[in-house]
Structures are given as structure tokens and as C-alpha cells.
Amino acid sequence: MRITALLAITLATITAKEPKISYPDSNPGETVDLIHGVSVPDPYRWLEDLNSEDTSKWVTKQNKVTETYLARIPGRDPLEKHLTKLWNVERFGVPFFEGGRFFFTKNDGLQNQSVLYSTPSLESEPKVLLDPNKLSADGTVALSDYEVSPNGKHLAYSTSSSGSDWIEWKVREIATGKDLPDHLLWSKFSGASWSKDGKGFYYGRFPAPKKGRKMTAQNIHKKVYYHTLGAASQKSDRIVYERPEHPKEGLSAWVSEDGRYLLIQVSRGTDTKNGLFYKDLTTPDAKVVELLPKFDASYDYVSNLGSTFLIRTDLDAPKQKVISIDLNKPEAANWKTIIPESPETLRSLSHVGGILVANYLKDARTEIRRFELDGSQLSPVKLPALGTAAGFGGKSDQNETFFYFTSFTTPGAIYRYDVKTNTQVLFKSPKTQFNPKEYQSKQIFATSKDGTKVPMFVVHKKDLKLDGRNPTLLYAYGGFNISLRPSYSPATIAWLDMGGVYVMANLRGGGEYGEEWHEAGMKLKKQNVFDDFIACAEHLVATNYTSSSKLAIAGGSNGGLLVGACMVQRPDLYGACLPAVGVMDMLRFHKFTIGWAWQAEYGKPDDPTDFKNLLRYSPYHNLKPAKYPATLVITSDHDDRVVPSHSFKFAAALQAAQQGPAPSLIRIESKAGHGAGTPTTKRIEAIVDKYSFLTRALGFQIKL
């Protein structure tokens, strides 16, 4: 949503006095639902109809108000130039080796989408294999996923348009760069996994939604298909596995490295507990074996040693352990523990170069440990500094792998790692447009309402004065077992250069300290997450990092819910709020797209006990006449994960409830979705808008 040149002219006539905002009429209706005996008003239900002309007009009017407001804020041009400079550095993805070739992504700096390259040797000049920037004029078609066939001849790749979760699969010949006629639709939340012979691949897809319901229809009845290479139509694709009696179970399938087994992971919504099944591909017409059908823990397949599976699990081990299961005697009594549970949280594991490489979290920072296949511990991998490492993928017989390392002030560097010698060399590193030595980061802890210690990473320039006057941006997520870890972003550096303090909090509900930490912030315990976030905000004020009038809170998706709930519960504690693509209506989230799956995390609105809990904190339903902080609600018109009606309804209700002078605006991005695949140009525009809004809300000027 670029501010037009016409609107920008208003910069010349800006005055110190804040103009009164005239919001569009949101026409509240009289809809009232009787749920478990409770009357629940829903006056803005009409905004759920994303195809209606009235909703379209409302979106246009709201965007005009927001654009006009943002255009009046001085310093936007210097901020955009500075942010563009920081962003304009060459960036690489982690390389991998398949079928005799290396593959990696690279972005020259300001390309809307990263480009996929291929080369037989890392010492030779790589060639472009797929450039997503050529798939659309505005960069809104993104490369979602890709998989190289074992023989290195073909690339199965998926694209998404305008940020939608819906993806389309195609196949490209690697030697010629030409696409085959294969074209697969209605796939979502799925990768592709080639059969060992390279004649086709497995993938997941949903039934085609009814006309006009593509962006809102529930995503159920997912099936695993096998697509034969060269078939233009997916009508001939063979159903490999389905569970029609469980339409809301998710299915993910992939082939083991040796090509012998098809692994099928069965999920129930976003619950971390899953089932793990397999099919022996060496036996014609073999049945799917329900190896782990109890859904009593998380089970993640790592590798197989013949007929023995290595599984990472949290069964009786909230911080994860590794077990082996012999398929010839799969009973639990015969399982062996290979790597026992550690005080640190095991987040991922790979079998590469004949050993196991384990990625652990210690207070949300990465530690990489190595083990023999029998669990004997080897010397750890020494990382460049305290931060986040990821990668270490590859085949069990490949002695070389790669990993990515980043921190708040270290742009992602790629390292080439030798498994046998446990040594690494720098492969690629961006040339920074700033001096990392000017900044510092540290970890501090706040005490939540119930006494729980909650960690926060605090990043700022070294000359910071703790005088309570620093504009501070507090970010968090707190849900779905997702761990927030230190990572580099040009947006963070720009905020620091503006004189700001950036804080990332690791709340309960996340996965930083294992499944117990996650469960302490879900369902009936969700209020713990909000209490944690409020405690972090209060700690920053109490220790003079900032003051309430200088403090902004931000989060996206489940983090948008977090911001919405906390601003409703403690509107006095913040100077500004940035809830992005948030789940704001906790009584109807399960009725759209994949929202039903989140009931494993939030609870079921149809359950009387869960309903009372959800109603207690639902941001949309708890807005009441009060003085709220300056708020910029953020969403996108093509978000088919958290449908934009959540943000539409919340913004309309907030504008009606606002009793103070602070603005209550909504920014609705066009041709964008939940976040993935957003073009660079749109990312920069969005950050400029958010930071400009914060300068006005928190009372400081952009000086760059």
C-alpha cells in the first residue's frame, strides 16, 4: 500500500496539531448469537463477507483514511532510503546437494523474490534454475517449495499468488530449464517427495472449494496423492492414503532416504501430538501400517537404519529425546532410548555423514551437539557466537553439509561444514551496510504474575541511556510450540538507528523450554501468555528502558491475538499497538479455512468450558468504551489463513469504542497474504508505514 504522491504533498502543510480523524461508518448491525446460554453481540458480522461490495467499499475508505494519516508524518523519505540501503545486500540460502548438483537461493538485495540457482560445483559459476521474479510483474507470485528428484533430472516446485496458502505444483527439467506440462492445483500445507526411481512424487491436496469460497472455505478432507511425471492433468493422480472417517486430520507424506518407506505423519489440528504410519514401497500393494496410532505424544521420523526407525519424541520427555523402533518388533517394550532427554530443548535432528547432529535450545539460543548412531556423544559444533543456527541437512553418507548462523546484529552467514573433522569454513556472508560493533544485545528476565521467569532479548545501541525515554518496540508470539530465536532483520537495525530499543520476549505457549512450556500457555491456560507479555512490558518500564508512553507492542497471527488481548486488558500500559493478521474473534475462528485446526491450541468454542475462557479474552468481544493506545491494525486482502475479517471486525469495533484522542487505524495490504512470499517492495513499504506511525504515537522524530 504505497502512499501516493498526491497524499505526500500534505507533508508541506503539516502542523504540530494532530488533525481529528473522521472514520468511515462501519454500520454496526444487530446480530446476536446465543452461545451456551450467553447472548454474544456480533455487530460487524457483515464484514465477514469478503466478496460483498459493501466490504470492498469499507476497505477502500479505511485505507484512504490510513494513507492520509501516514502521509502527514515527516521523515518518511529518509527512513525509506535508509531501510532500502540496509536491505540492499546479497543474501544466500543454505545450499544442498542432490542428484550430482548443488542448489541454493540467492537474492541480489532488492529483488522481490529470491532466485533458485544450480551448479555442479560450488567453485563454478551457478546458473539460474528458476526466477520467481519473472512469474509476475509485481513480484506477488512466490516460490513456495521445491524438491529435486533423486536422479537430479527434475525439479518439482510450487508457487503461491498474492500470499495465499494455496499452491500450484509444476515440474521443470533441470538440464533445459523448461517446464513439463504437469500442473497440480488445490494443494496447501504440503511439500513434494519423489519416489526413488524419479518417476513421480507424493504430495497432499484438498478437494476444490466451491466457487467464491476459495479464500474462506474450511480446509478438510486432505489426501495423499502420487503424481506420475509427465501427466498434465492431476485427474489421473493416484490416491495413496486418506482417512475419510477423520476429515479434519492433516496428512504429510515423504519418502525415506533409501526409498524403501513412505512415511505418513497424521496430525490433529495444530496439536503437537501426532500419529506416524508407514508403507513399504518395496512390496506391491503393501498396506499402510499404523506404527504409532495413539496420538499420545509428538513423533518425528529422523532416519532409518534398515528396518529400524530413529524417532524424535516428547513421550515422557517434554524437552525431547530420540528413540529407535525396530519394525520387526515394534512394541513399546522393545523401544530403545538413543539420546535421552536433556535440560535443554531438542528442536531438530538430522542424520548426516554417518552421525546425528542435534539442534538444542538453551534459553532460546542454539547449541549444536553431535552423537554417534548408538547415542554416544561426540564433541559439539562450535558456533561463531551466541545466536541461532539452522541447517545441517543432507544424506547419511554425505560428509559435507551447510548451516546458517544469525543473531540480531549478524546477517545470515552460510558455513560449509565437514562432518568427519568437525570443522567449518565461511561460505557466504552478506556485506553489511552498518557497523555491528555499534549495537549490543543481552538477555534479561521478567517475573510473570505467577512467579514464572520469562526471558527477553534486548537490543540497542551501546550508548543507550536508561532514562525511561527510549522508544521501545516489544515483540512476541507465545503459542503453537513455536520458538522465537535471535535473528537478523534490516527492520530491526533501522529501528535501532532511529534511536529505538528492540525487545523480543519468549513467552509461555512457545517451544523454547519444551512441551511443558508450550502447554502452560494453551487452551485454559492461555491467560498465562498475556500475563507474561504484560510482565515484560512492566519490567521494561520499571527498569527505565522506557515508559508506557514510549512503549509499543507488536505481534503477528497468534502474536496479533496477543497484542489485541493485552491492549484490551491493559490499555494504560502502552503508547502504541501493532496487531498484525491477528486472530481477533475467538468464537468464530474455527469456521474459516484452516482455523478449525487451532482448536487444539485455543480450545473449542462449541465446548461450554472452552467458550467461557475464549470469551474472557477474545479481543473483539472485550472492547468497551475506553481510552486505547494509538493502534495500527494490519492485515492483507489475500490472507486465507487468518482471514482478514478478524482484523476488519476488530478495527471497526475499536474505532467505535475509542474514547481517547489516539488514532485507531487499519492498514489493509492488497495482493498479499499471511506474510510468506511478500515481495521486498511491499515489505519495505509496510515497515516505513509502521515505523512512521510509531514516531507519531510515541512522540519522537525520525533522525537518520
Known catalytic residue at 183: no
Residue with cell 513412505: 262
CA dist 374 and 357 (Å) reads 13
CA dist 365 and 552 (Å) reads 25
Known catalytic residue at 557: yes
Catalytic residue among 82, 351, 621, 674: 674
DSSP 120-142: S-TTSPPEEEE-GGGS-TTS-EE
* DSSP 8-class letter at 626: B
DSSP 545-588: S--GGGEEEEEETHHHHHHHHHHHH-GGG-SEEEEES----TTT
Q: How far is CA 344 from CA 312, 319, 359, 378, 393, in A?
A: 14, 7, 10, 17, 21
Contact 654, 628 (CB under 8 A): yes
Contact 498, 411 (CB under 8 A): no
* DSSP 8-class letter at 18: P
Single-letter amino acid, residue 28: P
Catalytic residue among 187, 350, 448, 557: 557
CA dist 232 and 169 (Å) reads 11
Size of the chain, expressed as the number of residues it contains: 704
| Cell numbers linked to 554 | 507488536
Beta strands at 345-352 and 355-362: parallel, antiparallel or unpaired: antiparallel
Half-sphere exposure of 590 (CA within 13 A, CB side): 20
> How open is the CA angle 44-672-406, to the nearest 5 degrees?
120
Q: Residue 5 is inside which H or E element, if any?
A: helix 5-8
| Cell numbers linked to 186 | 488445490
Q: How many CB atoms lie within 10 A of CB 96?
A: 17
| Cell numbers linked to 652 | 471497526
Contact 335, 310 (CB under 8 A): no
Contact 686, 675 (CB under 8 A): no
Contact 510, 521 (CB under 8 A): yes
Residue with cell 535471535: 486
For 182, the 3-state DSSP assignment is: strand
Instruction: Tell me the catalytic residues.
Output: 557, 674
